[in-house]
Structure 1
Amino acid sequence: MEAIDIIYRLQRIGKSQAQIARELGISTGVVNNVIHGRVTAHPVATHIATLLDLQIEALWPNQYTFKPRGPSKKRRSSSSDDISEGECE
């Protein structure tokens, strides 16, 4: 969704960026940057999505999409990492 659409929807429910910033204890600039997609701040985005009764992914589909990580690889210790007896005192 475009930033102008998000701002319009917020105005329709009577919420300004300044009000959102006060509610969250952050600056208006942060709210504006999240709305415009310049920064990601999950708590701010979640609050806005909740106010608009939308999913966060619907507002910012490219920024807050869950991307699962691959399986973690266990680090194998190399022989240089091993400490043989007698090296430590």
Structure 2
Amino acid sequence: MLPYPQFMMFLRSQPANVGRMSLGGAKSSSIMTASLLQTRNITQKHILRMREAEETWKGYAEEIKAGNRKSFLELMEERGLVNKVVGE
């Protein structure tokens, strides 16, 4: 059994004043949650890629509805990889 809760992680040590928040008010604690330590900025390039991907998938949806493209489910059924379909 682990000596710390499962949602906690040991991370590599850094200087004490690197924007960490300690748990339980202890300033010298080396156990931190990942969400408190890891922050990432979203770049404009990432936002552009996400928009392009969304437009691409909308195009695929229109093609599937028009009957010009097979859906993923249809492809899997053709290959015999679908056992049962439940619901609509």
TM-score normalised by structure 1 residue count: 0.26
Higher RCO (CA < 8 A, seq sep 6+): 1
